[in-house]
Structure 1
Amino acid sequence: MERRTSPQNVPVQVNSQHEREGERSEAIVASSRESLHPHPEDFLAHVIHELKTPLTVIKGNIQLTNRHLQRHRRQPEIIPDYLAEATLLQVIDQQVDRVNMLLSNLQDVFRIQSGKMELCTVPCELVSLVRHTVHSYTRKSNNAREIRMDLPEHQEFHVHIDPLKIEQVINHYLNNAIQYSPADTPIDISVRPATTGVCCSVRDAGMGIASQQLENIWDNFVRRDGSPKYTDRSSGLGVGLYISKSIIEQHHGQVGIQSKPGEGTTAWFTLPL
């Protein structure tokens, strides 16, 4: 038994055994909570998967509705305002894609951190892949930016890569370039030989990046502070460059950024031949 004083200075007796039992109960609850999800990354991956499932259903219904609109676009008695409804449907579709992209990026972060990022590598020609990626990006994008391709016409670069992952890296680079450069300036993408293989670079004409920000720009959940954003299309979690670096390094390549304030930014990656 232990004697203590109450707030009114009245001596009271406290059973320390009850205190120990209370502490033990709290420990059991905490242990049980941990045992439910001993691997948080697996739990979060499951949550992301569950969140993406209804998005797939929404996407399917958007496609069905769009086909209905196309079929009756010239029948005002069925579709009174085709343009307004088609525009609204496009906005919904873009937002579903955006949420899907955020979840996919988050899923990639967990895979990278748990060492579960896997590549499915095949022989591939990089110039053709870059050209296809830019065409696909332009077609899907709602941003009418000029993307200029400086690609060799009579030179091929055969690499052993996961084409979907490399396409993802290029998309991340394009997203950043568009997000941080004025709408009336072009984005340049090029493929050139490099001492370590082949180099792909994406250049913008934005305000550039301060040297102190370049030091940690490849880190996880890092976003560029102070740089003006010209579109919110790519607003995300600040994981694009982190994912890109991990993908390229898993391909035994390198990444880099060259930038000075007021002179634009060039982001590049290399791949071994």
Structure 2
Amino acid sequence: MFQHLYLRLALATGLLFIIAGGVLIGISTRTSELYALETTQRINRDIALHAAEDMPLFGPTGVNEVALKELAHHVMFINPIVEVYLLDTEGRILSHALPEGTVLRQQVDMAPLKRFMRDSSKLPIFADDPRSDTDSKIFSVSPILDDAGDVSAYLYTVLNGKDYDGIQQSLANSYNLQTGVATIAAALCFAMIGGLLLFFLLTRRLQRLASAVSRYREDSYTGAIDIDSQQSTKDEVGLLGAAITDMSERIEQQFDAQTEIDRNRRELIANVSHDLRTPVSSIQGFLETLMVKDLDTSAQEDYIRTAHKHALRLNELIGELFELSTLESGTVEPHWENFPVMELIQDIVLDHEVSARERGITLTTEAASESLQVRADIAMIHRLLENLIHNALRHTPAGGEITVRVTDDAERVRVQVSDNGDGIASQDIPRIFERFYQRDTDSTSDSAMGGTGLGLAIVKRIVDLHRSQIAVRSEGNHGTEFSFWLPQPA
């Protein structure tokens, strides 16, 4: 494509230089001609005046033909290209010294002549050539006064007559003229070659860009486009290369993100299928047992109680799946409001106090100030703390302790949920916020407190929506601490 572009540019450039060269040569030739005519007319501006003063062109019987011919002879002897005419006040030709039949006009337009006599500063000025029906020539003119001082006639001299035309035609093949034209043509050719070279360099860089994009397309849009380092200039081509590189990197990132989304989707489907299958199968099994067997009242109650527990787990799993999907949809934003964080923590601790007491776990709170205010979405923070406390209860053995601690600095409030339970192995910490990830635990974890594997994923998403971060510090069998920051009201 860019090869064709270069050919089109080269052709257009060549035509442009040919046209420009022709125009330049024409203008130069015409300018030189006008300059020569102006110089001739300025030098000979007073020739008619001096000639009229030297010869008595009128006698008792009218025009003194002898004197006119003698004047013409002297003038043409000095300057062979000058032609002399005697005009009346209306511009009619009274006499001349040229061969019979060579003068084609009988009258000359007086307007240019009067303009010349009035102001001859703007030259050249052209007037009618009596020896041509159409041509105009440079001239000199002077009035001839009678004895009373009135204008009785005009001496009109054409400064570039027919002999001048012949000389000009003979100079068409002049060495100097040919040299000048050749010099202009050579300069134009040099400029055209320079322009073509410049176009080649520009289109070569564009060709490299096109080749890089083609390779990128052939590689199924994987990897960043490799742009030659020589193209890292700040001109338009360099900026285009940088934009293409950025575009390819963004496409690669989006491709990787889409790949990750597809992987997570497949993993989610697999995990959901597995986690839903267990409670559904259990419920189905217990109900079928109740339908086909004649059980006593106590056994029926045990079966129903177990099926109900699995139904609750199934309902919890579906609810958390829906909640996480909503948080990750990008359509949910926190409803920011100011509230005392310790009041919220006290309410959540009170809700879990009975469960903690039954398990033999001490649940306490600590705060630098009971009146600490935060700016956040109270419903989301309530859900976040519930999940962290619920997670701590699952992994803290009887006799253990869970502490919710609140501290602050000038602009933020730090919330910590710590326990002295079984802790988290270092290799598990990077994955605990993944959906459905459940680490192996020992026998101290009560099955009744089993989780869905979605609680910490929900926590992480809520923290992200609040533009905060959550930190995890844990050692195996030495407890775990989760901490995050919330902004204080301005």
Please classify the TM superposition score into its range, dividing by the shorter chain length. Answer: 0.5 to 0.7
Q: Percent identity?
A: 25
Displacement after TM superposition at 1:185 (Å): 1.2
8 Å contact 2:362–2:402 — kept in the other structure? Answer: yes
Partner of 1:37: none
Say which of 170, 178, 196 aligns to 2:393: 178
User: Are 1:121 and 2:336 counterparts?
Assistant: yes
User: Counterpart of 1:24?
Assistant: none
Question: Partner of 1:207 in structure 2?
Answer: 422
- 1:212 is paired with a residue whose SS is coil
Contact 2:414 2:483 in 1 (8 A): yes
Q: Residue in 1 aligned with 2:319? A: 104
- Match status 1:247 vs 2:462: yes
CA deviations over 1:210-267 (Å, ceiling 9, x no partner): 1111112122221113555521233232111111011012112221110011211111
* 1:63-98 per-position Cα deviation (integer Å, ceiling 9, x unaligned): xxxxxxxxxxxxxxxxxx9xxx9x999988766654
User: How far apart in 1 are the matches of 2:430 and 2:359?
Assistant: 32
Distance in 2 between the 1:93 and 1:119 partners? Answer: 34
Deviation at 1:99, TM superposition (A): 3.6
Q: Tell me: CA distance 1:272–1:93, structure 2 relative to 1, closer, same or farther (3 Å).
A: farther
Task: Give per-residue Cα distances to partners, 1:35-76, cap 9 Å, x unaligned.
Answer: xxxxx9xxx9xxxxxxxxxxxxxxxxxxxxxxxxxxxxxxxx
**How far, CA to CA, are the matches of 1:151 and 1:249 in structure 2?**
25
Counterpart position of 1:163: 378
SS at match of 1:215: helix
Paired residue for 1:9?
A: none
User: In structure 1, what is the equivalent of residue 353 of structure 2?
Assistant: 138
Report the secondary structure of 2:439's partner residue: coil
Q: In angstroms, what is the RMSD of aligned CA positions?
A: 3.3
Unaligned segments of structure 2, at least 5 residues: 1-264, 270-296
**Structure 1: how far apart are the matches of 2:476 and 2:388?**
18
Q: TM-score, normalised by structure 2?
A: 0.35
Higher helix share: 2
Taking structure 1 as the reference length, the TM-score comes to 0.60
Matched residue type, 1:150: T
1:233 aligned counterpart, secondary structure = helix
Aligned 8 A contact 1:108 1:117 in 2 = no
8 Å contact kept, 1:148–1:187: yes
2:432 aligned with 1:217: yes
User: What amino acid is aligned across from residue 212 of structure 1 in structure 2?
Assistant: Q
Asked if structure 2 preserves the Cα contact closer than 8 Å seen for 1:257 and 1:267, the reply is: yes
Secondary structure (helix, strand or coil) at the match of 2:449 reads: coil
Larger radius of gyration: 2
Is the aligned partner of 1:266 residue 2:481? yes
1:52 corresponds to = none
- 2:409 pairs with 1:189: no
State the number of aligned residues. Answer: 193
Unaligned runs of 5+ in 1: 1-39, 45-80
Q: Distance in 2 between matches of 1:120 and 1:145?
A: 37
